[in-house]
């Protein structure tokens, strides 16, 4: 970034120091006896010179001079500003504008034009220097009160009063320089503000306003929230989950159905065997075989029939329990999906 400020602002520098310089010349003429309006002691005169020298060091940072440098850079600044606006463009609804702030750009572009710290403290530095100079002058002019005669004491008191009178010139000069500095500082700042406003008016149509950017931001947020809700609905869609659930459970049902058929076949086989055992028992009874064998056989038949009945009951409970389990799975999944959707809607309302 080119900050080589062109143009000559030395004339403004002279304007600021002209009146204070005349004041110092007036004080010098009185000090050297050319004029007799004021009575200055040597230390008071040199204190005033020191304050004026510090004022000269601060003058280069006054806004009145800074405004001159900015005005001389107007065309260069416009070219650089246009390039920056182009590089920071943003397309919204088919329109391309810049998001750059002209004021922020100028503050950054001219940040090295002067030392803002010096400019901010200058108006308070000069009065403080004046007060400090007054106390120094009083301290230097303090007389010696340990004299022997009243005549000498009167002389010392006269010296004190004379020194105090000239010491206050430093405070007056410091306050005067502060007012003079503030006057030109305000003029410079007002002209810089006019310069900034003129550039903002020139590029007003090429820059997105804060209200437009805020509106775009909220629109994007609303789009993202709606997209999130849509994705969640698609992901946790109840019918979709039910179809997936039934597809997965279909294979499980087929396996259970085959197992159920196999158990029925086993039951049929056991019943047939039981019938055969009963026939054998009848034959044993007819053949009058061992009573003990008959008793044991009948006991086994009773236990076998009991086991067959329990197996049949177990199969019936298993069939009913499978249907109930599937219904409970569907119901619980539906509740979970509705809870998630309610939670998302609540989060969205909290954000808004």
Give the tens place of pLDDT for each residue, 251-261: 666 766 766 77
User: How many residues does the structure list for the chain?
Assistant: 352
Contacts of residue 80, defined as CB under 8 A and 6 or more positions apart, other chains included, come to 1, 2, 109
pLDDT in tens, 50-100: 999 999 999 999 999 999 988 888 888 888 888 888 888 878 777 888 888
| pLDDT in the model for residue 257 | 73
Token pair for residue 12? 């403004």
Over the chain, what is the mean pLDDT? 76
pLDDT at 188 over 70: yes
| pLDDT in the model for residue 173 | 95
Point out the least confidently predicted range of 205-209, 246-250, 322-326: 322-326
What does 207-232 look like in DSSP terms, one character per residue? B--HHHHHHHHHHHHHHHHHHHHHHH
| pLDDT in the model for residue 233 | 65
Mean per-residue pLDDT, 200-220: 77
| pLDDT in the model for residue 347 | 46
- What is the residue extent of each domain of the chain? 10-208, 228-351
Dihedral class, residue 7 (left if φ above 0, else alpha if ψ from -120 to 50, else beta): left
Query: Which one is predicted more confidently, 115 or 350?
Result: 115
The closest alpha carbon to 136, from 166, 98, 107, belongs to 166
| pLDDT in the model for residue 167 | 81
pLDDT at 301 over 70: no
pLDDT in tens, 265-293: 766 766 676 676 677 667 666 655 555 65
| pLDDT in the model for residue 6 | 44
| pLDDT in the model for residue 58 | 95
| pLDDT in the model for residue 252 | 60
| pLDDT in the model for residue 89 | 83
CA 48 from centroid of its chain's CA atoms:
50
């Amino acid at each position: 970034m080119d900050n080589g400020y062109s143009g000559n602002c030395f004339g403004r520098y002279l304007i600021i120091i002209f009146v204070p310089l005349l004041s110092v010349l007036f004080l010098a003429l009185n000090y050297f006896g050319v004029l007799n309006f004021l009575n200055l002691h040597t230390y008071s005169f040199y204190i005033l010179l020191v304050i004026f020298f510090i004022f000269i060091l601060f003058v280069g940072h006054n806004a009145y001079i800074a405004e001159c440098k900015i005005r001389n850079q107007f065309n260069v600044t416009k070219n650089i500003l246009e390039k920056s606006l182009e590089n920071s463009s943003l397309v919204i609804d088919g329109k391309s504008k810049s998001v750059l702030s002209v004021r922020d750009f100028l503050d950054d572009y001219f940040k090295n034009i002067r030392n803002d710290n010096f400019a901010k403290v200058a108006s308070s530095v000069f009065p403080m220097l004046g007060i400090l100079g007054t106390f120094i002058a009083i301290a230097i002019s303090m007389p010696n009160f340990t004299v022997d005669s009243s005549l000498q004491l009167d002389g010392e008191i006269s010296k004190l009063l004379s020194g105090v009178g000239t010491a206050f010139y430093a405070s007056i000069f410091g306050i005067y320089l502060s007012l003079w500095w503030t006057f030109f500082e305000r003029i410079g700042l007002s002209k810089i503000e006019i310069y900034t406003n003129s550039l903002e008016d020139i590029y007003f149509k090429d820059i997105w306003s804060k209200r437009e950017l805020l509106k775009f931001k909220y629109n994007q947020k609303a789009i993202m929230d709606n997209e999130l809700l849509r994705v969640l609905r698609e992901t946790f869609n109840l019918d979709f989950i039910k179809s997936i659930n039934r597809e997965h459970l279909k294979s499980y049902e087929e396996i259970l159905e085959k197992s159920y058929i196999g158990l029925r076949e086993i039951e049929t086989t056991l019943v047939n065997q039981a019938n055969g055992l009963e026939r054998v028992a009848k034959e044993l009874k007819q053949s009058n075989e061992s009573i003990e064998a008959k008793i044991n056989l009948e006991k086994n038949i009773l236990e076998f029939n009991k086991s067959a009945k329990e197996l049949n009951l177990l199969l019936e409970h298993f069939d009913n329990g499978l249907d109930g389990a599937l219904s409970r799975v569907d119901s619980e999944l539906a509740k979970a999906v509705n809870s998630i959707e309610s939670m998302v809607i609540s989060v969205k309302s909290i954000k808004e």
